[in-house]
Amino acid sequence: MTGGGGAVRTKRTRDDLAYFGGTPGFAEDIRVGTPNVPAKDRYLELVSEAIDRRWLSNLGPLVRRFEELTARRTLRRHNTAMNNATTALQVAMKACGVTGEVIMPSFTFVATAHAMSWIGLTPVFCDIDPVTGTLDPRSVAKAVNSRTGAVLGVHLWGNLCDLAGLDDVARGAGVPLVLDAAQAFGCRPLRPGPTGTAEVFSFHATKVLNCFEGGLVATDSAEVHARVRSLHNFGFDEAMEVAGPGTNAKMNESSAAMGIASIERLDETLKAYRAIHLRYEEGLRDVPGVTLMAGPEGQTHNHQYVVVQVDPAVAGLHRDRLCDILGAENIHAKRYFAPGCHRMPPYRADTVHTPVDLSATGTLTERVLALPTGLAVSPGDVDRICDVIAAAVRYG
Ligand SMILES: Cc1ncc(COP(=O)(O)O)c(C=O)c1O
């Protein structure tokens, strides 16, 4: 967690920065995505019970319990826990009967696109809102055509998509709106409104709530739910007859034990994330050209990511150089997300993936940097990271 540098904040000089030959500020690495383990003893207790029961997989009592507990957070009628969000996205799409093209942002983790192409769907990338980083309904409207099978919004960094806008376009096209909420557990709209046909969450180790690996499909539709349950369990129906093709996307009991132990502490965890976010806000307020990206109004937020936008014309340095300077101090920030999916080898060669202008995507992929946060990051860590960023802008 904390390394060298002491508890007292000092204004660093250029010679203090490791990048220019000084000593790294953190003796130990501090990085984006260090897993939270808020309740190790509780996890061990639950997993020990599962071992004694000899019920380790196949929709055991811990998975059922975890599904009940998540329902209080997703506010959806039906939740199905799964092995990860990538396969959960595939199961959700199959359950919604999607074929053809899926309109999504390029500015997302590549799993969003890969999950689609792996099951024979064609990702079509549209542009984003420059402030929230989420799919722009106006851009989506330009890409809709007779091959469109679904709109797939991504609640990026926990920022909820423009649900009303996307719902309008999806309804107009007669296709379902599905949400990749991998980064958005704990993020809910404050007012009623459209929420999409299905929503997919991730409980990967780096997420605010983790199950080592895990995912979840949430829906209010009983029909979609019934198909999801069957599809994620080899196509078995409730009578355990094979009703059709299916996959194995089941969550296991050990993952559910971690999920239960962590969700029981989720309020404290979210409080810690919020406090860290506020501390970064304060620490970076006067750093020119480095702007902490704010979430949209009208929702609860998990603050799972602390993302800054670096404007090189004002900060005097590019995001990549700032990332290198931080790296030399053993602070491992991440370019979330660069490049956009449309510039990655599987998708960049074929124009079918990029029918519209992606200029807001282009700007953000060049500018954003995610900074360390989570239960492994202390307030003192945040202060020192902010000091390094301030010094980097001063001297970089
Ligand atoms: C936006 C987004 N979609 C999908 C995924 C895939 O989630 P998983 O690792 O649970 O398969 C991630 C994981 O980081 C993600 O951030």
**Which residues touch 169 (CB under 8 Å, ≥6 apart)?**
137, 140, 141, 144, 151
What pLDDT is recorded for position 10? 64
CA 396 distance to own-chain centroid? 30
What pLDDT is recorded for position 7? 46
Q: How far is the CA of 86 from the centre of ligand 1 (A)?
A: 6
Q: What is the pLDDT of residues 351-394, one digit of tens each?
A: 888 999 999 999 999 999 999 999 999 999 999 999 999 999 99
Q: What is the pLDDT of residues 242-253, one digit of tens each?
A: 999 999 999 999
Give me Rg for the CA atoms of the chain. 22
Quick one: tokens of 364? 């953000």
Q: How far is the CA of 179 from the centre of ligand 1 (A)?
A: 12
Instruction: Identify whether 346 is preceded by a cis peptide bond (ω within 30 of 0).
Output: no
**Which residues touch 131 (CB under 8 Å, ≥6 apart)?**
293, 294, 296
- What number does CATH give the domain 40-263? 3.40.640.10
Q: Report which ligand 1 atom has the smallest distance to the Cα of 215.
A: 10
Locus of tokens 């199959």: 94
* Cα distance between residue 186 and residue 299, in whole Å: 10
Q: What is the pLDDT of residues 21-38, one digit of tens each?
A: 998 988 889 999 999 999
Q: Which protein residue has the closest C-alpha to ligand 1 atom 13? A: 182
CA 108 distance to own-chain centroid? 8
Q: How far is the CA of 182 from the centre of ligand 1 (A)?
A: 5
Q: Do domains 14-31+265-333+372-395 and 40-263 have the same CATH topology?
A: no
* Cα distance between residue 95 and residue 235, in whole Å: 11
What pLDDT is recorded for position 9? 58
* Cα distance between residue 276 and residue 100, in whole Å: 42
* Cα distance between residue 134 and residue 368, in whole Å: 14
Annotated domain spans of the chain: 14-31+265-333+372-395, 40-263
Parts of the chain with a pLDDT under 50: 1-7
Percent of the chain's residues with pLDDT above 70 = 97
Q: Report which ligand 1 atom has the smallest distance to the Cα of 206.
A: 14
From 86, 155, 200, mutation site for ligand 1 pocket: most ligand atoms within 8 A of C-beta: 86
Q: Residues enclosing ligand 1, CB less than 6 A? A: 84-86, 108-109, 111-112, 154, 180, 182-183, 202, 204, 215
- Phi, psi dihedral angles at 112 (to 5 degrees): -60, -45
* Cα distance between residue 173 and residue 196, in whole Å: 14
| Cβ atoms of residues 108 and 86 within 8 Å | no
Write the DSSP symbol of residue 248. B
Greatest extent of the chain over all pairs of C-alpha atoms, in Å: 70
Q: How far is the CA of 191 from the centre of ligand 1 (A)?
A: 26
Q: Which protein residue has the closest C-alpha to ligand 1 atom 7? A: 85
- What number does CATH give the domain 14-31+265-333+372-395? 3.90.1150.10
